[in-house]
A = this chain, B = another copy of it.
């Protein structure tokens, strides 16, 4: 699957991913009213609103980008109907030819990890037929439980040509509380990175592995070091834009082949119309603001 992502990144000359993390606050009033009228001002209505919001963002940007990254928490907050909106978003992004990175940060052990892997990336056999649950292309995975939590995902990556991104160094301020602690002179995130290399070798797909990792844009020096430590591992970089990661720092995350990283922006794209810079588009043309923000982000990273 990583080769498919790379192909799209190269074709569109855009090593970026749009994070579909819809908050109700981001959704323009006219979409909200329509959804509440159709489904009621309740969880179903809210779910309908975020799905319609996503659809417009995808329609306005899909030709420019290789992938989207829906953050499942933003859907789970609306219960079952929210999860249904997540699934509609995954399917619609696929219809539009996009790769889907499910930002689900799952992590468990053995049969439980296998269930997550099958549900999000693989499939399940019921009697003689095969069904898929959410059918994302990649999922983000938490490493705290060790190999037992990762191996079932790698098996599914190999069986179904899918991929994962394992959390190594996250973008948040407190990520250092555990991740930066020194073990034999090396921070924990480097120990995790070594394991990611090991796991990655079990699912190579061309020059890169289907096992990628997550390293936050907010720690570019660590990004540089981790880039060197994991030469065949694609880095998903959250934290660009709204969280403080700068375009000029992004070069640290790329290999000399111009590949090796894909930078995510969520709020900066999907709520672009709320920024002063894009305010002139207004709520009615919010998706055009998102499109312009995508163009600007690609340029910003390119010149970095």
Known: A36-B127, A192-B178. Is A170-B145 also a contact (CB below 8 A)? yes
User: Which residues of chain B are near A115, meaning CB under 8 Å?
Assistant: 73-74, 76-77
**One of A42-50, A251-259, A276-284, A287-295 at the interface:** A42-50
User: Which residues of chain B are near A162, meaning CB under 8 Å?
Assistant: none
B126 touching A77 by the CB < 8 A rule? no
In the bound assembly, the distance between CA atoms of A118 and B23 in angstroms comes to 13
Q: Is A163 an interface residue (CB 8 A)?
A: no
Q: Is A197 an interface residue (CB 8 A)?
A: no
Q: Is A172 an interface residue (CB 8 A)?
A: yes
Known: A126-B46, A146-B172. Is A76-B133 also a contact (CB below 8 A)? yes
In the bound assembly, the distance between CA atoms of A90 and B230 in angstroms comes to 42
Q: Is A108 an interface residue (CB 8 A)?
A: yes
Q: Is A3 an interface residue (CB 8 A)?
A: no
A78 touching B183 by the CB < 8 A rule? no
User: Which residues of chain B are near A127, meaning CB under 8 Å?
Assistant: 36, 41
Q: Is A188 an interface residue (CB 8 A)?
A: yes
Known: A146-B172, A177-B195, A178-B143. Is A73-B119 also a contact (CB below 8 A)? yes
Q: Is A97 an interface residue (CB 8 A)?
A: no
**One of A7-15, A56-64, A81-89, A203-211 at the interface:** A81-89
Mark interface residues in A85-119 (1 if CB within 8 Å of B CB, else 0).
00100000000000000000111111111011011
Known A-B contacts: A23-B111, A79-B87. Give 11 more (CB < 8 A). Answer: A43-B126, A46-B124, A73-B112, A76-B115, A76-B120, A79-B133, A80-B80, A105-B106, A144-B167, A144-B179, A182-B184
Q: What are 22 of the A-B contact pairs (CB < 8 Å)? A: A36-B127, A43-B124, A43-B126, A43-B133, A46-B126, A73-B113, A76-B115, A76-B120, A77-B133, A78-B133, A79-B87, A80-B80, A105-B107, A109-B172, A142-B144, A144-B144, A146-B178, A146-B179, A148-B173, A177-B195, A178-B192, A183-B183
